[in-house]
Structure formats: C-alpha cells, structure tokens
Structure 1
Amino acid sequence: MVVAAKLGLRLRWGALAALVLSLVSVQLVARGLTSPLRAMARAAEAMARGEHGQRVPETSRDEVGQLAAAFNVMAAELETLDRARRDLVADAAHELRTPISALRAALENAVDGVQPADLPALLAQVERLGRLADQLLDLSALEAGAVALRRRPFPVGELVAGRDVALEAPADLLLHGDADRLLQVVDNLLENAARHAPGSPVVVRAQPAGDGVRVEVEDRGPGLPPGDAERLFDRFARADRSRTVAGSGLGLAISRSIVELHGGALRAEPVAPHGCRMVLELPGAR
C-alpha cells in the first residue's frame, strides 16, 4: 500500500511537472509567434502617424518571417513615395513662387501708381502658371495610368510635321502609338534642345530597331554635365543649375512617362565632342 501510494504521488507530481512544462513551452512558442506580430502592429501604428522609417526584424523563414519581409518592403515603398510627395510639393511651391511674386510686384506697383501695369508681361506670367498647372495634372494622370492611348500606325514623319528640323528616316517607317502623345514628346525634346543649345543645329533620326523604332533627337550644344543623364528626367530637374532657364522642368518627366506608357524607353546620351542625344525606343507598326 505504501509503495502504491508513493508511486501514485510520483505520478501526480510527474503529471503536474509535465503540465507546467507544457504550459511554459506553449507560452514560449506563443510569445515567439506573436512577438513579430506585435512588432508589426507597433510599426503600423507609427506609420499611421507618418513615421515611415519603421522596420521590423525578420527573425525566421516561416510564414511570419515572410510577412515581416513583406511588411518591410511595403514600409520602404511608402517611405520612398512619401519622400517623393514632399519633394514634389516643395518643388511645385518653389516653381509657383516665381511667377506669383512677379505678378504681385507688378500689380502692387500699378495700384500704388509707381509704374503702370505691363499687361503683356502679366499675361506671360499667368500663362506660365497655367502651363505649370496643366503639366502637373498631366504628369499625375500619366503616372497613375489614367491616360488612355489612341494607338494607330502612323508615319514617323508626323513627329516633326510643321517643325523646322531635319529628319533622317526611311520614308515608309511607321510607328504604332498615340500620335498626339508622341508628338508631345518630340515637341518637348525639340524645345529642350532649343532652350539649352540655342543656335545649335538639331537633327531627328529614326530607324528600325528589332520589332520597334529608335528615334534620336540630337543637338550640338554644351552637352550634359557628368552624372546628369538620368537626373534630367526627375521632376523639376534642370541640366544647368547655375543659370535661370525658362521652363518648369517637367517636360522630360512627362515625356518619359508617355514613352513608358507606350512600352518604350527614353534616355539621354552624351555626344562627342559636345552635344546631347535623346534616344526614344518605341513600338513599330508591323
């Protein structure tokens, strides 16, 4: 009887110890599973307050670890978008300030009787503001994919029709895309060349390239500063920061968005000994 009692006591203590060990193990496992989730919850709350630099540790390779990795990717993208939004607002405010200041000064002088209003100059500033607003709306719609393209085959010569510029291209070369939008791109490139390389001859070339068409707009101006070939396509970017150049700095950003919407590419290349070549890779008409 005594032996049986001792054995029963040991079994009960053993069962109790196993139960306690099981509870501790479950608690540790639960803590290990929920700790990354709690970290993500805290990071999400911070991001909701605008703190987009939040990241969570990726401590495992299971589903929770994959979720943490995806959360970090999302956080990085949100941080990039938020930085781009802030930069866009700051740049747009800077660009708007110049014509608004000119208008205010001219109108104050006219009201005070210091100087009569120069109506053509005032109209030019108002038109500048209108162009900037239109370009911002255009760029926003393009980047959101909210622009419908009216694609059709058309001869490459339509891109320079009515422009005083030389075209070197096969007469039967066809593009396939929205002619109005692609004409907008070439107009931007030609105006950019005329602005930064006044008096320089500008040549437009087009030739087949695989299943598409390669279009080049080349000038013999001062060329590109080192490292600026890609920065040119940023919003409000200018090749020469040391001088004031007419234009909003949105033309090349809009042009690249239009070309990419067609499934093409737009890039800048230096020309030896000096000059700049804008290269468009566009779909051709088969």
Structure 2
Amino acid sequence: MKRFNTLILWTVIFGLAFIAICTAYTIQVGNSQTGRKYLVEINRILHQVTEGVPPKDIVLNSSGSGAVRTLDWIRSDAVPQELERFFEGAGLNNREEFTIRPIYEDQELSGYLRFSYPPVKDTTRTILVMDIVLLIALGGLVGLLLYVKLQIIKPFHTIEELPYALSKGQLKAGLKESRSRFFGKFIWGLDLLRETLESQQQTNLSLEKDRQTIVASLSHELKTPVAAIRLYSGALVQDIYDSEDKRKDCARLIGQKAENIETLIGEIITASVSSLQNIEIKNREFYLGEWLKRLLYSHKERLELLKIEWTIGSYADKLLLGDPDRLLEVMDNLIENAIKYGDGEHIRLSFQEEDMRQLIMVENTGTPLTPGELPYIFTSFWRGSNAEGKKGNGLGLYICKQLLQKMDGDIYAEATGHGMRFVLVLRY
C-alpha cells in the first residue's frame, strides 16, 4: 500500500512538472513566432537607414520570413496635424499593429519611421486551455489510481491477512463489509468461512470437553474394580483362603470385576471416538404408518418375551418431515429406558396434533423422577436418582434431543402419577 501511495505522489509531481514544461515551451514558441520576426525586420531596416539608405528605397522582405508589412516615413518638421495623424496610425489597417521609431541625422531628429505588422497573437488563452486540459488529464489519472487503490489494492490487502490469521487459529477478528465490485462477494465468502471455522472450533472444544468429562468419569470408576481385583488376586497368591469354595468365590469375583472393567473400557472407547455433531441427518417426508410398522417389528417380540404390555393409540396416517432412521434410534433409546427404569408392566404410544405439529408420546409405568430432576434429564452425563445400580452413562436422552433438534423438532419429559412420559415433537 505504501508503494502505491508513493506511486500516486510521484504521478502528481511528474504531472505538474510536465504541465509546467509544456506551458513554458508554449510561451517560448509563441514569442518566437509573433514578436521576434517583426523585431528582427525592424532592426534590419533601422540599420539600413543609419547606413544612409533612404526609407523610400528600402525594400521589405517579400519572402514572408519577415513580419513587417508596411514602412511609412514622415519628416519631423511636418505639419503638426499630419504628425498627429501619423502617430495615430492613419492609413493603416485596423487589424494591424504598428510601432514608430525616431531617425536621427548628425544627432538631430530628422523624422519618424512607422512599421506595421500583424497583431501579436495572445497565447494566454491557449496556454490556459492547455493547462486546464492537462490538469483534467492529470486529475483523471490520479482518480484512476485512487480508484484502483480503494477498490482493488485496499480490499486485497484486507483479504491477504485473513488466510494467515486463519492458519494461526485467529478466528475472532472478522472482515468489515465491503461494497467493492471486485472483492465484495469474495470478502463476504471469506468472512462466512471464518465464521464457520469459528463455529466448528467452538463445537470441537465443546465435544472435547464432553469427551474429557466422560473419559475422566469412567476412568475414575475403573479404580474400584481394579482395586478389588488386586485385593482378591493378592489373597489368592498369599493363599489366605483355606477352603476351595472360598477360592472359587474369589475367582468368580475377579471375573465379575474384569467384566465391569471391560464394559467401562468399551464406554471409554465409544466416548473417545464418537462425535454427535458428525451424525448425518437426512430429512425427508415419510408416512407415519410405515414408520410405525418398522418400530413394531423391532420391539414387539422382545416386549412380549419380557411380558411387558405394549399398546399403541389411534393415529391419522400422514406425511411427516424428518429422518425416519434417526427417529427409530430415538424411539429405541426411549423404549430401552422404559424397560430399564420402568416397572416392566406397561409401555404405551399415543399420538396427538398441536400447533401444526405431530406429537408422539411414549409412556411407561414406574416410579417417576422428582420435579427437581426433570430440568436436567436431557443434560449430557446426567443420571437420575432411579439410575442407581443400572448401567449407563447419561448420554442417551441428550443424544435424543440433539437428533430431534437436527430434524427441526424437539422432545420434552413429564412426570405422571404412575410413571414417565416423553413427548416427541415433529414437523409435517
């Protein structure tokens, strides 16, 4: 940018110098073409007169190189009226100019010579017009350079800093809006890219925080079974138990603790490699009836083996908008929770329309959560008071909510007098 500013400054300096040179040259040429020709001719004639050539015998230059057109002589002792008329230019063309020079003989005034010549051209107007034209041209050139600076160079300098900043992870400083016809849309696109990267960075930080939380939590849970295994194995090595039955019980306990560790390690691996934000959602239209057939096929036989009563309320078959596969995953999670945390007696699906939305309600009998726990039920890694002694990491309902929100829907929970109800909100 500084180099371009220097270029503009030197353009102005050289432009003004060029105008000054052209003006001086024009003045010089004008003087040489108007004044010097007739002055040279007058001096030649005066020299001839001083040499004794009578004025009437002087021949004017007829080649056209001289500028004197006529030569008039009057004696100094002429009638005053004639002298006056002579000095006023009587007998000359109005378009001609003249000059009068005295002639002396023996240091006495003998008469006057009058020289007429074409009027001297006034070059002032020509010079003024020329200077104005050149100044306009210079102003146009400087204006063009300023336009290039403001519309091309300056936006480009703004752009060239952003990729370097992005490579350093500096995502906070945005680009100002630009109306540049050359880079406006490009700058907008770069700023949109910056915002996307910033959003992705925040998402990655949040995911990393969640992963660290669950890994730390599960790692902490590993300490208890590891400590028990060390204790039991040490007892076996030291032959503390005196009966075979006690040694078998100890070995069985070691196996159970090993299974616990295996389960916890699996959960740690899952938490370390999975990313909820990367789950692909393919929203499309689907019929509620066809989706329910898939749901029944997945769970009917299992619920019958568990002897859990399963009822489905009446519904109007209609087109819904969402991802039917992901919606099945949500329902799988809800039914699994109903089996795990319910009393194993009854699960019911019912349907309702409200505010141009389709509601699907999943209810199970059992002990409901307390009102104070409901606000946290969809929080990641949170588990309710009814989760004691049951496997889980507190991510199931959190994932359900995230999936439904990606489908432009939602989910919320209610405690009923005899159990829990989860309400799914879908578009149609």
Which bracket does the TM-score occupy, shorter chain normalised? Answer: 0.5 to 0.7
Q: 2:222 aligns with which of 76, 80, 100?
A: 100
Q: Is the 8 A contact 2:360 2:423 kept in 1?
A: yes
Q: 1:145 aligns with which of 277, 280, 285?
A: 280
Could you tell me which residue of structure 1 aligns to residue 37 of structure 2?
none
Which amino acid letter does the alignment assign opposite residue 59 of structure 1? Answer: E
Query: Cα offset for 1:249?
Result: 1.3
Deviation of the 1:266 alpha carbon = 6.0
Partners of 1:239 and 1:221 in 2: how far apart? 10
Mapping of residues 45-60 of structure 1, within 5 Å: 45-47=167-169, 51=170, 53-60=171-178
Backbone CA RMSD of aligned residues = 4.7
How far apart are 1:205 and its partner, in Å? 1.7
In the other structure, the counterpart of 1:190 is 338
Deviation at 1:122, TM superposition (A): 1.3
Q: Distance in 2 between matches of 1:244 and 1:60?
A: 61
Equivalenced residues, count? 268
Greater RCO (CA < 8 Å, at least 6 residues apart): 1
Q: Helix, strand or coil: the match of 2:305?
A: coil
Q: Matched residues in 2 for 1:82 and 1:43: separation?
A: 19
Aligned to 2:394: 249
**Identical pairs, percent:** 13
Assess if the C-alpha contact under 8 Å between 2:352 and 2:360 holds in 1. yes
Distance 2:261 2:143 in 1: 78
Instruction: Tell me whether 1:270 sits opposite 2:414 in the alignment.
Output: yes
Aligned residue identity for 1:252: L
CA contact (8 A) 1:270 1:277 kept: yes
User: Is the contact made by 1:189 and 1:278 (CA closer than 8 Å) also made in structure 2?
Assistant: no
1:74 aligns with 2:196: yes
- 1:106 alignment partner AA: A
The CA distance in 2 between the partners of 1:133 and 1:282, in whole Å, is 33
Q: Is the 8 A contact 1:224 1:275 kept in 2?
A: no
> Residue 197 of structure 1 aligns with which residue?
none
Structure 1 stretches of 5 or more lacking a match?
Answer: 195-199
Distance in 2 (CA, whole Å) between partners of 1:171 and 1:24 is 74
Amino acid at match of 2:172: Q
> What SS is found at the alignment partner of 2:348?
strand
CA contact (8 A) 1:266 1:281 kept: yes
Code of the residue aligned with 1:12 in structure 2: it is L
Structure 2: which amino acid aligns with 1:20? V
Tell me which amino acid in the other structure corresponds to 2:378. F
Equivalent in 125, 134, 138 of residue 16 of structure 1: 138
User: Does 1:222 find its partner at 2:369?
Assistant: yes
Deviation at 1:27, TM superposition (A): 0.9
Distance 1:87 1:119 in 2: 33
- How far apart in 2 are the matches of 1:257 and 1:56? 29
Following TM superposition, by how much is the alpha carbon of 1:145 offset from its aligned partner in structure 2, in angstroms?
3.2
Q: Give distance in 1, aligned partners of 2:164 and 2:418.
A: 55
Shift in CA distance, 90/253, structure 1 to aligned 2, threshold 3 Å: same
Matched letter for residue 397 of structure 2? L
Aligned equivalents of 2:403, 2:218: Cα separation in 1: 24
Match of 1:119 in 2: 254
Amino acid at match of 2:363: V
Contact 1:135 1:250 in 2 (8 A): no
Contact 1:216 / 1:277 at 8 angstroms: preserved in 2?
A: yes
Return 16-25 or 114-123, whichever deviates more.
114-123
Q: Radius of gyration: which is bigger?
A: 2
Distance 1:254 1:19, change over 3 A: closer
Residue 154 and residue 17 in structure 1: after superposition, are their counterparts in 2 closer, same or farther (change >3 A)? closer
Structure 1 CA distance for aligned equivalents of residues 293 and 426 of structure 2? 12
Counterpart position of 2:13: none
1:44 equivalent to 2:166? Answer yes
Q: Is the 8 A contact 2:310 2:348 kept in 1?
A: yes
Matched, 1:238 2:383: yes
Residue 132 of structure 1 and its aligned partner are, at CA, apart by 1.5
What 5-or-longer segments of structure 2 have no aligned partner? Answer: 1-29, 31-122, 241-249, 283-290
CA drift at 1:78: 1.0
Distance 1:108 1:258, change over 3 A: same
CA contact (8 A) 1:265 1:281 kept: yes
Quick check: 177-186 or 85-94, which moved more? Answer: 177-186
Paired with 2:264 and 2:271, the residues of 1 have a C-alpha distance of 11
State the alpha-carbon separation in 2 of the partners of residues 128 and 249 from structure 1: 15
Q: Distance in 1 between matches of 2:273 and 2:280?
A: 11
CA–CA separation in structure 2 for the residues paired with 1:13 and 1:172: 84
